[in-house]
Amino acid sequence: MTMCLPIKLISTDFDGTLFAEFESPPIPASVQQRIGELQERGARWVINTGRDLSSLMEALARARIGIEPDYLVLVEREIYQRADSQYLGLAEWNAACARDHAELFARVRQDLPRLIGWISARFPARLYEDTYSPFCLIAGNNGDADAIHAYLAEYCRGIPNLGLMRNDVYARFHHVGYDKGTALAELTRRLQLGPAEIFAAGDQLNDLPMLSRQYAHWLAAPGNAVDPVKDAVRRQKGFVSQLEHGNGVAEGLDFCLRQAQRLRPARTP
């Protein structure tokens, strides 16, 4: 039953937050146990990631995870729901997402040669197009990524609805109406919940949209999170663990559940 649960939807980033490629196991037992226990009591869990479906499924298989997410947010925008042993896209949301991105990117394409030329003349970055964006970037280091980010952010200010989604040295253009936060809000709406019942945990810049009390009251970051994420979580009275990756998320869940219990009104006789 979800009636007594203060947290009814758990939204976790994947890489660096839940999953650590070179740890054994990559997803620690502590966080699997916490999430599994909450699922048994009726809570839902969404992995909110920048990966696409095939990449995420492969990583989950390698991790030999013992629990299954109820929902996925993929490429920071598409929503999928678990149905038996597969994940099916939410047709209405995903179709609108694809349409809005296609219309936006059609306006941007004419400017790409100029943007690519400016970056290529100054930085040893990898620039390419994929299924999800006509402009993707892998910078040589974070210093280069910061400089390129500043240049592209100025360009984006001149194009309505265009944003740059950044994760470490990786970045790509996207429609600002679709990110980890707005996708989480759509799931919240469909489940007839409110932000007060949502937990969100992340470690990187692309997690910042969902690490907001606009979308989730209960916020957490593992000890390996980048400083802007830690600062954002602390500023909103969330929990920053000293433990890394999934162990930090498990500690964050425990902390938020204890806080919620303390804040719960006492029953009257």
Q: Are 234 and 213 in contact (CB under 8 A)?
A: no
Across the range 48-66, mean pLDDT stands at 94
Across the range 127-153, mean pLDDT stands at 96
pLDDT at 268: 41
Check pLDDT > 80 for residue 250. Answer: yes
**What SS3 class is residue 70?**
coil
Proportion of the chain above pLDDT 90, given as a percent: 92
Check pLDDT > 50 for residue 32. Answer: yes
More confident residue, 98 or 268: 98
Same-domain pairing of 103 and 61: no
CA distance 203 to 219: 11
CA distance 2 to 88: 24
Residue 195 covered by a domain: yes
Check pLDDT > 60 for residue 257. Answer: yes
Across the range 89-105, mean pLDDT stands at 97
- Residues of the domain holding 213: 9-76+179-263
pTM assigned to the model: 0.93
What angle do helix axes 142-156 and 112-120 make, rounded to 10 degrees?
150
pLDDT at 4: 78
Same-domain pairing of 72 and 183: yes
Same-domain pairing of 147 and 198: no
Proportion of the chain above pLDDT 70, given as a percent: 97
Check pLDDT > 80 for residue 265. Answer: no
Q: Are 75 and 53 in contact (CB under 8 A)?
A: no
Q: What is the mean pLDDT of the chain?
A: 94
Same-domain pairing of 116 and 245: no
The domain boundary, picked from 123, 150, 175, lies at 175
What does the block give as tokens for 199?
Answer: 């937990």
Across the range 143-165, mean pLDDT stands at 97
CB atoms within 10 A of CB 194: 12
Same-domain pairing of 155 and 222: no
CA distance 79 to 58: 18
Same-domain pairing of 102 and 145: yes
Residue 30 covered by a domain: yes
DSSP 205: G
